[in-house]
Amino acid sequence: MSFETKSTIATFGGKLLKLSHTSTTTKTPMNVNLYLPPASSTTKVPVLIYLSGLTCTPDNCSEKGFFHAAASAAGIAILYPDTSPRGANLPGETDSWDFGAGAGFYINATVEPWSGHYNMESYVTSELPEAIFEQFGDKLDSGRVSITGHSMGGHGALTLFLKNPGKYRSVSALAPICNPSQCPWGKKTFAGYFGTRDKEEWKKHDATELVKGWKHDGGKLPLLIDVGTGDNFYKQGQLLPENLEKAVKEAGVEGVKFRYQEDYDHSYYFISSFAKDHVEHAAKYLF
């Protein structure tokens, strides 16, 4: 469905549009932010999709991520989907900060009642970009899209890229959940959205498992990952980047860059510090 523009905010030479539409995939209203760089007023610009982490709305990274400084300079639009449906009114939907509302995990739930609404994979890969390119087709180039994200959104960026070879030009992630089948956050949400009977199903949504089968583009994977060594969630084993790194190496996948950033935490102070690098990583493949 077409978007209503709730507000238009001048920032870094471009405009941040706060949009809302009713999704047929999630059967709820969905908020989306879209940053249009100044170049979009004269040419079609490529798009970097930014997937946020647990609890976030499209506003958190729009306000605190500072992707717009680099996106303005490079001429790249940034698209910020929400992290889940909101207001589906399912039992227990808002009881936990790491399951249900704000924690859609960018998968399609198969277990009732979640399966009726929690279909963020289809929403982010199909309905949302189709609706965006239809409404902003004069400003955005649907043929040039990259994807990035933070934490749960890093898991989303990695898995959606790996599941859809050729759909995105590049992928990157900040403090991503790299091996959800093996970490507490992933086990809780996968059990809730997929059930516990078929653990093989879980592997289809786990970057560390998916990368083992990566053959696209001669096994090259245009991936940049940053993780802070002071990140408590990293220390607690929620992110497990070493597992992904090992799988990448064993599969002979090339082109992947892991960076461990000394002392950085899990917050927007970390994200904003490296936002420029992630925009420039995408720019290498978008231009």
Assess whether 231 carries a catalytic annotation: yes
Q: How far is the CB of 259 from a second copy (least distance, A)?
A: 14
Assess whether 266 carries a catalytic annotation: yes
Q: How far apart are CA 21 and CA 31, in angstroms?
A: 7
- Nearest Cα neighbor of 154 from 236, 61, 53 is 53
Stretch that binds a second copy, among 6-14, 140-148, 194-202, 246-254 (CB under 8 A): 6-14
Kindly report whether the peptide bond that precedes residue 165 is cis, defined as omega within 30 degrees of 0.
Answer: no
105 binds a second copy (CB under 8 A): no
| Residue of 72, 84, 146, 151 marked catalytic | 151
Q: Which two tokens stand for residue 223?
A: 């991936």
Under DSSP, the state recorded for 165 is: T
| Continuous segment of H or E residues that includes residue 282 | helix 268-286
Stretch that binds a second copy, among 39-47, 130-138, 156-164, 266-274 (CB under 8 A): 266-274
| Number of residues in contact with a second copy under rule CB under 8 A | 25
| Site of tokens 């998916």 | 210
Assess whether 138 carries a catalytic annotation: no
Cβ atoms within 10 A of the Cβ of 205, count? 26
80 binds a second copy (CB under 8 A): no
DSSP conformation letters of 68-99: HHHHHHHT-EEEEE-SS------TTTTT-SSS
| Candidate residues 268, 278, 281, 286; the one interacting with a second copy per rule CB under 8 A | 268
| Residue of 68, 150, 205, 266 marked catalytic | 266
- Nearest Cα neighbor of 247 from 225, 223, 222, 214 is 214
Instruction: Tell me which residues in 206-265 interact with a second copy (CB under 8 A).
Output: 228, 230, 261-265
55 binds a second copy (CB under 8 A): no
Q: How far is the CB of 10 from a second copy (least distance, A)?
A: 4
| Residue of 82, 206, 226, 231 marked catalytic | 231
64 binds a second copy (CB under 8 A): yes
| Candidate residues 5, 13, 27, 165; the one interacting with a second copy per rule CB under 8 A | 13
Q: How far is the CB of 251 from a second copy (least distance, A)?
A: 32
Stretch that binds a second copy, among 26-34, 60-68, 239-247, 249-257 (CB under 8 A): 60-68
277 binds a second copy (CB under 8 A): no
Stretch that binds a second copy, among 5-13, 164-172, 242-250, 252-260 (CB under 8 A): 5-13
Q: Which residue lies nearer to a second copy by CB, 35 or 193? A: 35
Q: How far apart are CA 188 and CA 157, in angstroms?
A: 20
| Contacts for 90-97: CB closer than 8 Å, 24+ residues apart | 90/114, 90/116, 90/117, 97/54, 97/55
57 binds a second copy (CB under 8 A): no
Q: How far apart are CA 248 and CA 254, in angstroms?
A: 8
Cβ contacts of residue 278 below 8 Å, gap of 6+? 67, 148, 172, 174, 224, 226
6 binds a second copy (CB under 8 A): no
Q: Which residues sit at the interface with a second copy, rule CB under 8 A?
A: 9-13, 16, 63-64, 66, 68-69, 228, 230, 261-265, 267-270, 272-273, 276
Would you name the residues annotated as active-site residues?
Answer: 151, 231, 266
